[in-house]
Structure 1
Amino acid sequence: MTRSDARARAFTAYPELNLVLEHLLAGAQAALADNFVGAYLQGSFAVGDYTPYSDCDFIVVTHEDLTPGQLAALQALHKEIHRLPAPYWRNGLEGSYAPAAILRRWSTEPRDPPGAPRAEDWGDPGMSGAPPLAYPFWYLDHGSDTLVRSEHDNSQVVRWCLREKGVVLAGPDPATLVDPVSPAALKAEVRRTMDLCLAVWLEPMHLVAWQAFWVGLFCRILHTMETGTVTSKKAAMTWAEAALDPRWSGLIARARALRKGHESAGAPADPGEVEATRAFVAYAVAYADRAA
């Protein structure tokens, strides 16, 4: 099937997204040739509760890291995708090109790609300037048409979602590519994510969408701390409304009710809601430490 074939396979419930994914898959296979292992969806299209405004999170697995020629071809591919006749979804992809040996299990070694050591003051462009810790994949941020080095998808959470829930676009079962991720590993990682959020991420909160995002993220972290699994933000907020201190139920319910893409999401955040969200984050950190 060619990239121009309009009869895209039904990877998702959205025909326009399927066309974008068909273009991504065919283009990646052409650019990578024998270096291509497989292509998958993770994130909300794997764990559930996706909407017409969700990010579409993908992972393309390669035998080796990208060569300069392959990288150039993929950069051109993602610029092509941004010109497709799919107004939302052409900008809705987010994901990484991951070497199979690195994807197999999380490790801090090797930290850097061959011949490309990162200085200690390197700031991750996909993680709000976080310092180097593990191997950076070639990463496409939501809305971007350019791949950059980032550790964004080199995580236990992504591996769990891919192995346990991943949607196959092409290639072998992802369970053959990723080792099992233990509950303890997931819990340790999301607890570190809390600290990273407090250090470099917990801004901005000037819009309703961002304020609600932080509520949902910390609910999701707490759900993982309790269960050792990963679920959607919607499911995690539903759990949190019932499981957490009732004083947070209104804040959580309002965040859960917000719909991405609705005009209210772009409105200025209410200062009282921002203050309540910061208080909820402090509560969540204490809750997580008790759970640990």
Structure 2
Amino acid sequence: MDKFKAMQTFVQIADEGSLTAAARQMGSSLPAVVRALAAYEAALGVRLFNRTTRRISLTEEGKLHLENSRQVLAALEESEASLTAGATEPAGHLTITAPVLFGQMHVAPCVTRFVQQHDKMRCSLVLLDRVVNLLEEGIDLGIRIGTLEDSSLVSQPLGHIRRVVVATPAYLRKHGTPKHPRDLQRFNCIRNLSPAQQQWGDFQESGRTFRVAVKGNLEFNHVLPAVQACAAGAGFGMFFSYQVAPYLATRQLKIVLESFERPARPISIVYPHARLLPARTRVFIDWIRNDLTAFRQGPLNTTSRAA
């Protein structure tokens, strides 16, 4: 048995989520993939997948072996890549995750430009507003906003974003401009439906942070319609700076209460196994760091405040 080939088949099945999809992706037949998996499990003496007629899922042993297999295959690819560094184009499949709106606005266009430049690459972008366990969910890279809590991941900075309070100039002329965050209690504020968002945080005064209870006649469970309502003059909104950047650029929205903002939050690209990165992963990291330059300069970070 070719153990490296069997290991590659095992990882492909885990990545694709089905034997049929793995066979298609590998250009093999379904019976051949089934036989290869059965032989590999027999050689290891453990069952790697739980299989039914409708689904396939990793066993606990399979989850452990998947992580080890990724390291082994990445090390082999790294060794091969070091012999031909710069001589070949990156090739293969990358799965990337990012927050939904940030991914739609910035990561998706970046990924599109990447595959247009490197036609041997295939990328899957998974947009989720939750923290994803990269290892458990078979994801190569993640874009994270905020302080990183998972010390098992390696991170590289992409820039910073601010949390800002905004309103239209027309709304400010009609209703006035708050001088202190607590003044927001007298205005109409566009809120998130989440109970946790009934108070606005990210305010700071004399080194202390605080929250303000706000109220209003509009609530949304997604950011985009809230931004659009704010830009239509419906009231004040609190958003990440990238979410309102187009409206700030055209002066449809104006930032208020800047002196009470907390320090900007980092944007990072995170991944496991710093020393065992495939060439395609390294190339993409360099690509996105060069591509997302807006978050290291201009009104999206702390170095320049938007008017």
Q: How high is the TM-score relative to the length of structure 1?
A: 0.26
Give the structure with the larger strand fraction: 2
Give the structure with the larger helix fraction: 1
